[in-house]
Chain A
């Protein structure tokens, strides 16, 4: 049922890290999924987030609309 989209490809991508999802025969896109996620994690935080974080400590009415 699971199709290997890399059938015939010699160099399977090395799955880095422990894959707890059990995708040992991970297709090529599985790596892409992680990269998609990591690419956002690695983005610099926009200023609005730093502003919000700095406002958290202020008393009560920190209603940052």
Chain B
């Protein structure tokens, strides 16, 4: 396709809109990714990609939706490369979600986030887009490049999982088992590298 170079005024508009959605990108990324440092890396990667691809943005359309697609693709690529992005970050955690006055039993943000992170990624993102980001099913389907019915069913499944978890207090532990296993393997490798594994060598 022919890219038309943007005028300085258009670039300025683009930059202003991009700046405005950065907090939303961070929130979306934080929901997808357990760790805030990785989430922020992802957002910065997204910003650079969005800037580089700005000719493909149609002025007047939703910058938030457009950049979410970029962020989502970057996230999926990272996941495929097996970068570690599913682990829960305690730093985010201990802000308490205080319920409005008059309500019993506040839900802790940390519980909420942890429960969210146990969902399969495609259900998690669907729920984040619709339930937190306020996108319609149609908008979410566009962002995820799938059918509206698929989004509806993912959101429905995500909701019933969370219902079960949060209602029964059956919230998973801090790290998922993969993370623990992964760390154990790394520690073992470190030990070997440090010379503790020499028995078997030569």
Q: Which residues of A contact B (CB under 8 A)?
A: 1-3, 5, 9, 11, 13, 17, 20-23, 27-30, 32-43, 45-46, 48-49, 52-53, 56-57, 62, 64
From the candidates A5, A33, A45, A52, name the one contacting B132 in the complex (CB within 8 A): A33
User: Is the pair B163, A27 in contact by a Cβ cutoff of 8 Å?
Assistant: yes
Residues of B close to A40: CB separation below 8 A: 23, 26-27, 30-31
Residues of A within 8 A of B159 (CB): 2, 23, 27, 30
Measured in the bound complex, the distance between the Cα atoms of B99 and A1 in whole Å is 26
B27 touches A2 (CB 8 A): no
Binding site for A on B (CB under 8 A): 11, 15, 18-19, 22-24, 26-28, 30-31, 40, 43-44, 47-48, 51, 95, 97, 99-100, 102-105, 107, 109, 112-113, 115-116, 127-128, 130-137, 155, 159-160, 162-164, 166-167
- Most chain B CB within 10 A, of A9, A22, A33, A43, is at A33
Main secondary structure on A side of the interface with B: loop
Who on chain B is nearest to A19 by CB? B134
Evaluate whether A36 and B109 lie within 8 angstroms (CB atoms) in the complex, with A21-B155, A29-B166 already known.
yes
Main SS class of interface, B:
helix
Assembly CA distance A49 to B158 (angstroms): 32
Judge whether B97 and A5 touch: CB under 8 Å: no
- A37 CA to B152 CA in the complex, in Å? 20
Is B44 within 8 A of A64, CB to CB? yes
Cβ contact within 8 Å between A21 and B131: yes
CA distance A20 to B19 in the complex (A): 26
